[in-house]
Amino acid sequence: MSGEPSDPVANAQRLARPELPKRFYALATAAPVAGGGFALHLDGRGAKTPARNPLAVGDKRVAEALAAEWNAVGERIDPGAMPLTKLVNSAIDRVAVEMQAVREGRNIAQQIEIELRDEIAGPVVFLASSMASYVNGVVLPVDGGCSAVMMAPFAERMIQAGTDFNELKNGGK
Q: Which helix (H) or strand (E) holds 62?
A: helix 60-71
Partners of 32 in the beta sheet? Answer: 38
In tens, the pLDDT along 106-151 reads 555 555 565 566 667 777 777 777 777 777 777 777 665 656 555 5
In tens, the pLDDT along 161-173 reads 666 556 666 666 5
Helix (H, G, I), strand (E, B) or coil at 154: helix
- Crossing angle of helices 108-128/83-90, nearest 10°? 160
Is it the case that residue 152 has pLDDT exceeding 60?
A: no
In tens, the pLDDT along 59-99 reads 999 999 999 999 999 999 988 889 999 888 888 887 766 66
Helix (H, G, I), strand (E, B) or coil at 171: coil
Q: What is the DSSP string of 16-43?
A: HSPPPPBP--S-EEEEE-TTS-EEEEET
Round to whole Å and give the CA distance between 114 and 97: 12
* The CA-based dihedral angle spanning residues 56, 58, 63, 64, taken in that order and rounded to the nearest 10 degrees: 160
In this structure, of 18-22, 23-27, 117-121, the range with the lowest mean pLDDT score is: 117-121
Per-residue model confidence (pLDDT) at position 102: 56
Partners of 31 in the beta sheet? Answer: 39
Per-residue model confidence (pLDDT) at position 17: 76
Is it the case that residue 34 has pLDDT exceeding 80?
A: yes
Confidence class of residue 1 from pLDDT cuts 50, 70 and 90?
very low
